[in-house]
Amino acid sequence: MTITDTLNIIQYLALLYFGFSAGYILLFAIASYFYSYTEKKFDVKLNKFLILIPAYKEDPIILNTALDALTQDYPSDLFDVFVIADSLKPETIKLMRKEDVKCIEVSFTQSTKARSINKALDVIKGKYDIILILDADNIMEEGFVKNINRSFENGNKAIQAHRVAKNMDTNFAILDALSEEINNTIFRKGHIGLGLSSALIGSGMAFDFDLYKSIMDDIDTFADEDKELELKLFIARSKIAYLNHAYVYDEKVSNSEVFVKQRSRWISSQIYYARTFLFRSIRDLFKYSNVDLFNKVLQFLLVPRIMLLGLTTIFTIVTFFISSDFFFYSWLTTLLVCISALVLSVPKRFYNKRTLNALFRLPYGFLMMGLAIIKIKLGHKRLSPTPHSASTDSIDKKVNNKLKQ
């Protein structure tokens, strides 16, 4: 076999991998247009909620989040808000207690979100029907808890709400917000559109209390616990609903350093869970027709979107000059499929001059993603807080009107 033959085989395999990744996101981008959510019961009983907000070194923002959560228009005796204070400053805890914010202090040699949540669940007493998980920077829209409650009464026991950006102050924040909305289109609306479960995000999630506690009891991981939670829900044959109309506001990454750290952690956990659950997902697919579990592991194996777009563009240009027409047109087709999927996935409100300006930062984002991949070994070692902008401590909820247009 010649060097040319070897290179051609490698290129065929690369085309297969990149082509599948592009085709996958295009399929679900199209399927997102078939997303629908209906409720038959509107006059429903009011369940009791436990709202948990894990906070690891989130001193600048956690009080605002907790106080805002307490303002939900839901009977005050039917929901409790608890902050899980991991490595918060004593003055922060003192201030929260002064404001009557319930606070559970935890401390670990190596902190993880799963450990914080499980410790809180061991400490908190009382009977709850639904547990709602927020991040320390999350702000719920008005009526959020009511929307979740009604969905539960309509039969959904695991729900992912629509997480949207509360800051669009930098080009990186715009790109991060855009990326999350593409995820919402493909991995949530698109999956529901084809009868599959929604993907979880990590916050703005609600679950049947007993179901969640039973699964979390078995989770102690340095990777992203929401991915393991999702996998184990699918193993238990539980479905995850998506509420596109229930908004929780989330702060987006504003600079490249945070972007690299965050993405390296995400990629590291995806590789870990793909390796851990691959054979289980294949077995369960054929033995139990568990499509949700297999599909989730398949997602972990896809080329990250920004790398898919960037590398496919590079390969298309290179093959135009040095390869055969077959490889050039094959890469060009893959690139067009990828672009089509992304265009179909972007909400209309992002079609503006600010987004266009931010898109000029994509090559830089591509390089940063490459750096994140190089650093994936760092991704699972420790929990680290995401830096937050003081300007996003509060949210003008009038943006909700624009989202619903």
CATH at 59: 3.90.550.10
The pLDDT of residue 363 is 85
Q: Are residues 74 and 216 in the same domain?
A: yes
pLDDT per residue over 75-119, tens digit each? 999 999 999 999 999 999 999 999 889 999 998 888 889 999 999
Look up the domain containing 62 and give its range: 43-253
Pairing of strands 205-208, 130-133: antiparallel
- What DSSP character marks residue 32? G
C-beta of residue 26 within 8 angstroms of C-beta of residue 337: yes
Q: CA–CA separation, 325 vs 397, rounded Å?
A: 53
Most confidently modeled range among 55-59, 165-169, 383-387: 55-59
Q: Same domain for 83 and 219? A: yes
Q: What is the mean pLDDT of residues 328-356?
A: 95
Range name among 4-18, 239-253, 276-290, 388-402 with the lowest pLDDT average: 388-402
Tell which of 253, 279, 297 closes a domain. 253
Q: Are 328 and 348 part of one and the same domain? A: yes
Residue 304: burial class (beta carbons within 10 Å; 0-12, 13-18, 19+): buried
Q: What confidence category does residue 256 fall into, taking pLDDT thresholds of 50, 70 and 90?
A: low
Residue 77: name the closest of 48, 54, 52 by CA: 48
Q: For 90, phi and psi rounded to 5 degrees?
A: -55, -35
Residue 309 lies in a domain: yes
Task: Give residue-wise pLDDT tens across range 281-309.
Answer: 999 999 999 999 999 999 999 998 888 99
Say whether pLDDT at 188 is over 80. Answer: yes
Determine, yes or no, domain membership for 400. Answer: no
Instruction: Give domain status of residue 265, yes or no.
Output: no
Highest mean pLDDT range out of 143-152, 172-181, 245-254? 143-152
pLDDT category, 8, cuts 50, 70, 90?
Answer: confident
Mark whether 191 and 47 lie in a shared domain: yes
- 243 forms beta bridges with 161
Residue recorded with tokens 């896809």: 302
Q: Which of 45-49, 66-70, 258-262, 267-271 has the lowest mean pLDDT?
A: 258-262
3 state SS of 306: helix
Specify the pLDDT at position 223: 66
This prediction has a pTM of 0.89
Are residues 337 and 246 part of one domain?
no
Per the domain annotation, does 328 fall within a domain? yes
Average pLDDT over residues 26-41: 94
Does pLDDT of 11 surpass 70?
Answer: yes
Determine whether 381 is exposed, middle or buried from the number of CB atoms within 10 Å of its CB (0-12, 13-18, 19+): exposed
- The answer on 237 and 180 residing in a single domain is yes
Report the number of distinct structural domains present in the chain: 2
